[in-house]
Structure 1
Amino acid sequence: MSVTAYQNKEAMQARLREVIARFAKINENFLTPVPGLSIYHRCEPTAPLPCTYGPGLAITVQGHKQVMLGDDVIDYGPGQSLVTTVDLPVVSHVTRASIQEPYTGIGLDLDVGLVTQVAAEIEMAEPLRETSRAISVAELEPALLDAVIRLVSLIDEPRLMPQLSVLIQREIILRLLTGPHGLYLWQLVSAGSPGKQIARSVTWLKLNFRKNFPVDELARSAHMSPSTFRQHFRTVTGMSPLQYQKKLRLQEARQLMLNENHEAGTVALLVGYESQSQFNREYARIFGEPPLRDIKRLRQEVQPGRKMPGAAG
């Protein structure tokens, strides 16, 4: 990158920080009026939090964040973008933030239908050769950064927002498909690709995680042998199908106990466990504490009536 291009990018990042600062709410996740767009603000580092990232684009405007997917540890900060292409149970936390320089970030949900539609209108640069992980980090290109600034600025233009937000989001998707994140998005929408088949299986699991299922049947529905299915599933999500199901069950159980005051025994049955002792063991393994102690701590940290944060900003 030339000195001039670097200076232009720095100026654009400063512009995005200025725009975000007008709308960011202290230590909160803020769902903006722009469809699918959220703003995140933290004045201090946060504890690692298990949550689910759906298909989306995340940008750190200021500060640093870390995301853990299986054994992978991903750090990203200002000037970088993160894209996820399927629902991923991850552990994320803000690693650098202060009152003087708070962490600020934005998250944009990606409509898979719109991604498919935009992808159908352009030609893929080269055919897919292998399945890739459903999460990627890349340097934020100036053209994409410019589109993001224009999208966030629509908060100030409510009359034009419904029409322009769709156009700008199409541009953002187009730039993602043709930029460094393109390979990861293409595998989501390319007909017949292993990545798309796994994405369908992930969608099924998200809707049916309470059920017990033979992995071989899930493999057959994806038109793969069980061993091939497991290999592709682990490549895309960073974990096995059963590990994926377990994390979805435990995260749902945690939300039900925190937000709806369910007892641990009741929740264990609701999310698909037949043994409460097994539920307690696996819960403590994932969240670090038994259910009762973990929820008590969370209630002291999370404001009443506010759900745990779970988005990707």
Structure 2
Amino acid sequence: MLHRLAFISFVTAGAMAVLGGCAQEDYYCDADGCYYCDGVGCRAVDPPDRTLCRGDFECPSGELCTDLGCAASGCTADADCVEGTVCREGWCVSPTEPNPTPTPGECTNNDDCDADLECVDGTCTPRVTPPACTVDGDCGTAQVCLDGECRDVDDTCHFNTECGPGRVCVDQRCTEACSASNPCPEGQMCDADVYCVDVTPVDECVQNTDCESGQVCVDGSCKDECSTDAQCSEGLYCAAGRCQIDDRPNPFCTQDSDCMAGAVCRNGACRSPCTEHAECPRFDVALTFCLDMVCATTNEATSDCTGASDCMSGQSCVDGVCR
């Protein structure tokens, strides 16, 4: 009789355990995880895989970048979160995860960001530029790869003659020429007494609100927003929605009739035709070679580079010569 009562008590206790636990709810979470349950038992519900991120821009809508990866934010109850996660302090997390720390990708200038990102409004964001490239083959027809950007061939230079007066060709970009008596524009400094280079940003801004209306904070400097070249100041042009230094060639002819009598138009520049070297110094002492039937400078005739990649580390290609 005592053995029979003990057996009944054991069965009753087991049934109460089932009724009081999994059998009463299909889905629940505790400190160890989330589960689907029935009268037989429970199976774990894994949280969704997290997307690794460098900033909010790499996360889906409704999620923010954290040290755990992309995480949904703004919840007020577990029901606001996907299965496998619970709502904790406004974040949807797995019961076993710590509270996430936001990592939106804050920055003060481009040095704080990866190479394919730029610092805009205090946050690292994808560069708003032509497609990234490593070789010319990565670019479209009539484009070349210049400093990781695809650029139209017409927007690059090889020699000073393509840039127009007062500019020199440096690493395929037309750059303001300078000297002790010819200083650079504001925001630039004279390198090697030959050409102007941008001064390292002084972090005049961190986010757009630090700039005037109509400007955006890029790489620690306030840049005017634009949609056309006409909205930019002299020496600047509109690219990627903001005014930037105009480093494009400045052709001053498109056909022979644009040049003085006897000259021909080649690559946007008026050139003196020739048949032999001796003819050229008569036009200009700097013209010492007859190259492809037009007079050329020594640098043009004996060029050893077209861009920085052709030169030693720390050198630039200036007018076809590494220096």
**TM-score, length basis structure 1:** 0.25
Structure showing the higher helix proportion among its residues:
1
Structure showing the higher strand proportion among its residues:
2
Higher relative contact order (CA 8 A, sep 6+): 1
Structure with greater Cα Rg: 2
